[in-house]
Amino acid sequence: MGRMLAEAIAQPEMSCELAAAIERSGFSLLGADMGELLGGDASGVVVTSDLASVADKIDVLIDFTVPEATLSQAAICGTHALPMVIGTTGFTDAQAAELAQSTASVAVCQSSNFAPGVNLTFKLTEAAALALGNSVDVEIVEAHHRHKIDAPSGTALSLGEVVAEALGRDLEKTAIYGREGRTGARDRDTIGFSTIRAGDIVGDHTVIFAGEGERIEITHRASSRMAFAQGAVRAACWVVQQPVGRYSMHDVLADRPKTP
């Protein structure tokens, strides 16, 4: 994903430039030049594990890591007043609270998915849930590559939250994460999640609204991570122009700033 972000930043239409590249301590390519890693000439931007050492060179940090790493980076961004774009998922409630506290003084754009098509899928899912109400059963099926470490995906959980909010339900109380054995008849108020991890699947999400005699399925399939990367870079270029606050990709796509 880091290489995809670097490639997206290099696209002329993005009107921005890569100023630093951060990786975990012990990463095999620490010290390597990003330009050369991408198959081009040396760029002068070398991979480092120390965000604080390059904080004065950047205007915004894009973070696609794991919750523990994001929290560490967020503390540094808070200290240096650096806006953040956060695509990391899988935060516990305690970690989410810590993240909010660390970034309270900066502009943050956080989304479970930065692909424009996924964010349109959120809107379509909301419209379907509002139109169909409690007349259907709702199931969410997601598939990702074998290396993804959290399940269900953050995007799947976001889709579940969209449905739950539209139907006036509490997702924590109604979510069913897989079924096994004699489970009995399905409770209409539940929202089911099914997870697939296999091969190199980039990311598939389907929301199923199943009623008597008909079924509606809303599906988004990603064929390349570039859609995520381009969306995240677009969010980065947008959030640096916003006042302190928390934003989502919906705000970016709508170009909807908040009042300070």
DSSP secondary structure string for all residues of 82-131:
--EEE------HHHHHHHHHHTTTSEEEE-S---HHHHHHHHHHHHHHHH
| Residue 260, pLDDT score | 46
For the domain 2-114+225-254, what is the CATH code?
A: 3.40.50.720
- The answer on pLDDT for 22 being more than 80 is yes
Provide the token pair at 184.
């009995």
- The answer on pLDDT for 212 being more than 80 is yes
Band (pLDDT 50/70/90 cuts) for residue 237 is very high
Average pLDDT score over residue span 33-43 = 87
CA distance 197 to 174: 23
The rounded percent of the chain whose pLDDT value lies above 90 is 78
CA distance 36 to 46: 10
Catalytic residue among 57, 80, 123, 148: 148
- The answer on pLDDT for 9 being more than 60 is yes
| Of 3 and 83, the one with more pLDDT | 83
Catalytic residue among 144, 145, 173, 258: 144
Q: What is the pTM of this model?
A: 0.78
Amino acid sitting at position 81 = A
Beta bridge partners of 110: 86
- The answer on pLDDT for 75 being more than 90 is yes
Strands of 145-201, DSSP E: 175-177, 191-197
* Rounded-to-10 torsion of CA 226, 86, 147, 121: -60
Band (pLDDT 50/70/90 cuts) for residue 90 is confident
Give 126-146 pLDDT, tens digit per residue: 999 999 999 999 999 999 999
What's the Rg (C-alpha) of the chain?
20
| Of 12 and 222, the one with more pLDDT | 222
Please list the residue range(s) of the chain that carry CATH number 3.30.360.10.
116-222
Please list the residue range(s) of the chain that carry CATH number 3.40.50.720.
2-114+225-254
Band (pLDDT 50/70/90 cuts) for residue 18 is very high
Q: Are 106 and 74 in contact (CB under 8 A)?
A: no
258 part of the active site = no
Q: Are 9 and 18 in contact (CB under 8 A)?
A: yes
123 part of the active site = no
| Of 112 and 174, the one with more pLDDT | 174
Is residue 5 within a helix (H) or strand (E), and if so which, with residue range? helix 2-10
Average pLDDT score over residue span 43-59 = 93
The rounded percent of the chain whose pLDDT value lies above 70 is 98
Q: Are 111 and 235 in contact (CB under 8 A)?
A: yes
Provide the token pair at 21.
């590249």
Average pLDDT score over residue span 141-152 = 94
CATH architecture of 116-222: 2-Layer Sandwich (3.30)
Strands of 4-55, DSSP E: 21-22, 47-48
| Residue 258, pLDDT score | 60
Contacts of 206 (CB under 8 A, 6+ apart): 140, 141, 142, 217, 218, 219, 220
SS3 category, 204? strand
